[in-house]
Amino acid sequence: MLKALVIDPGKCTGCKQCEMACSYENEGVFNPSKSRIRVFDFHEDARFVPYTCTQCDEAWCQQACPVNAITTDEMGVKVVSDSLCVGCKVCTIACPFGTINYNASTGKVIKCDLCQGSPACADACPTAAITYQDIEQTGFDKMKLWAGKTGAAVEIDGPNTPV
């Protein structure tokens, strides 16, 4: 089964355990500046939003790479080969989401590779704001929530207001 990271910003508290887990997994130290996942703090709206690569099927980064350093593995994950990457950064321009970035200390680009099928960020998240789920059922929880309201005598507050 193919799986994907599912992010529910409503559950995020901004603790950055995901950034710590990601940097430890990939860099061997705690270093959020090298994390592939990043938590954004929209403090004026009281919202915290984790964001990372969604593993596009037809990935802009992959298509832009002039040395074919980005390949797709059997899980559909876009993986950067450090031995092929020349650090030209064209992929960082091509990616519409900003989720592939240059690492000045290695001269290569870094992006989320779902930790070979066991994403450390999802394991570390204390509130289940980040989960790893069946790629075809990422809407399951939201569907279930709305299904539960169908026909019930409850007022629905708005499209993104789970109770």
Partner 1 sequence: MGWTGKVLRVDLTNGTSTSEPLNMEWADKYLGQRGLASKYLSEEMDPKADALGPDNKIIFATGPLTGTCASTGGRYSVITKGPLTGAIACSNSGGYWGAELKFAGWDMVIIEGQSPKPVYLTIFDDDVQIRDASEVWGKSVWEADAWVKSTHQDPMMHVAAIGVAGENKVLYSAIVNDLHRAAGRSGVGAVLGSKNLKAVGVRGTGGVSVKDFKAFMKATNDGKKVLKDNAVTGVGLPTFGTQVLMNVINESGALPTRNGRDVQFEGAKDISAEAMAEPRKSDGKPNLLTNQACFSCTIACGRISKIDEKHYTVQNKPQYWQASGGLEYEAAWALGAATGVSDLEALTYTNFICNEQGIDPISFGATVGAAMELYELGLIDKEKTGGLELVFGSTEALTTAVELTGKAEGFGKELGLGSARLTAKYGRPELAMTVKGQEFPAYDPRGVQGMGLTYATSNRGACHLRSYTVSSEIMGVPEKTDPLVTEGKAALVKAFQDATSAVDSSGLCVFTTFAWTLDDIAPQVDAAIPGDWTTEKLLEVGERIWNMERMFNNRAGFTAADDKLPERMMKDAAKTGPAKGLVSGLDKMLPEYYELRGWTPEGVPTNDTIDRLAM
Contacting positions for partner 1 (CB under 8 A): 13-17, 20-21, 23-24, 27-34, 43-48, 124, 126-127
CB of 48 to partner 1, least distance (A): 7
Full DSSP string of 116-128: GGS-HHHHH-TTS
| CB of 13 or CB of 63, closer to partner 1 | 13
CB of 106 to partner 1, least distance (A): 13
CB of 128 to partner 1, least distance (A): 12
| CB of 69 or CB of 121, closer to partner 1 | 121
Q: Which of 134, 103, 157 is nearest to 111 (CA)?
A: 103
| CB of 1 or CB of 29, closer to partner 1 | 29
Q: Which of 26, 22, 77, 79 is nearest to 55 (CA)?
A: 77
CB of 11 to partner 1, least distance (A): 10
